[in-house]
Homo-oligomer: A and B are copies of this chain.
Amino acid sequence: MPYITLTTDFGQKDGFVGVLKGVIWRICPKAQIADISHEIAPQNILEGAFALWRAYRFFPPGTVHVAVIDPGVGTQRRLLAAKIGIWFFVGPDNGLFTRIYKDAKLYKWSMECVHLVNENYFLPQVSHTFHGRDIFAPIAAHLANGVALSKLGPILDNPVQILIPEPEKTPKGWRVHVIGIDRFGNLITNMPTGWIEEKGNVHLRAGRFDVHGVADSYGAYPPGKLIALTSSDGQLELAVVNGSAAHITGMQVGDILEVIE
């Protein structure tokens, strides 16, 4: 089966996502299409990159991941398709796939990017404002149909990357960044808990809040308690049992926590 996923900042009210599905099905009639997120904040490339990164590796080999958070639509920014590991990626060349490039390096996956210039694989008419419809959806459908990456355009060997903050070593431990807040108000950081030597004894300072130790699960503590634990993606995360760590701490994406070992 051909699988295609969609990650956008289109929202779910206006019908834009439906447009993409129609375009895909006209070209690849059997495509199974999954929405990863359409609620990315408008133009927030970092947030889109994170949602896609959370999900992409769980999909079957050959899945085509389309991501359209595209503040530069209609300008000279490049259009990109890539095969990384066992998956394809299609979207603007604005850094949306930076986390995937990092995974490719980490896991030594193959990686090939092309610059989408062959208009034979676009819709016949291309607007200046909706390349998701006119370029990315048709390209994804053609890839799902088995069209070779090399037919879509020449190799692009320097895809744009965005700066993704990394934990910084300090004399006592690490300074880590909040990189995501999920629907439950969990604060997800950029530090894998695998880096922490003694999970039981570590001390976290989050603004005026102190947390001691990294818990095993939300459920092992009383409701309302602020705890640290390993997120489902393997990252250090602050959570409030049956509550919202974001609400209680007031922390936001980009804020800093200290990890003291």
Contact = CB atoms under 8 A, between A and B. Distances in A.
Interface of A: 1, 3, 5, 7, 9-19, 21-23, 25-26, 29-30, 32-40, 42-43, 50-52, 54-60, 63, 71-75, 77, 127-130, 133, 180, 182-184, 216-220, 229-232, 242
Nearest to A61: B26
Contacts of A14: 37, 51, 54, 180, 182-183
A37 B60 contact: no
B25 A13 contact: no
A216 B128 contact: yes
Contact of A25 (B32, B72, B130): B32
A230 B34 contact: no
Contact of A129 (B29, B72, B229): B229
A18 B39 contact: no
B18 A55 contact: yes
A58 B26 contact: yes
Given A129-B218, A216-B74, A51 B230 contact: no
Given A75-B220, A127-B232, A55 B15 contact: yes
12 contacts: A13-B51, A15-B50, A18-B51, A21-B34, A22-B56, A22-B60, A22-B63, A26-B60, A43-B242, A58-B133, A73-B217, A128-B217
A135 to B, nearest CB: 12
A13 B40 contact: yes
Contact of A71 (B21, B229, B242): B242
A230 B34 CA distance: 30
A188 to B, nearest CB: 9
Given A60-B26, A220-B74, A11 B129 contact: no
Contacts of A23: 58
A260 B193 CA distance: 60
A9 B1 CA distance: 29
A181 to B, nearest CB: 9
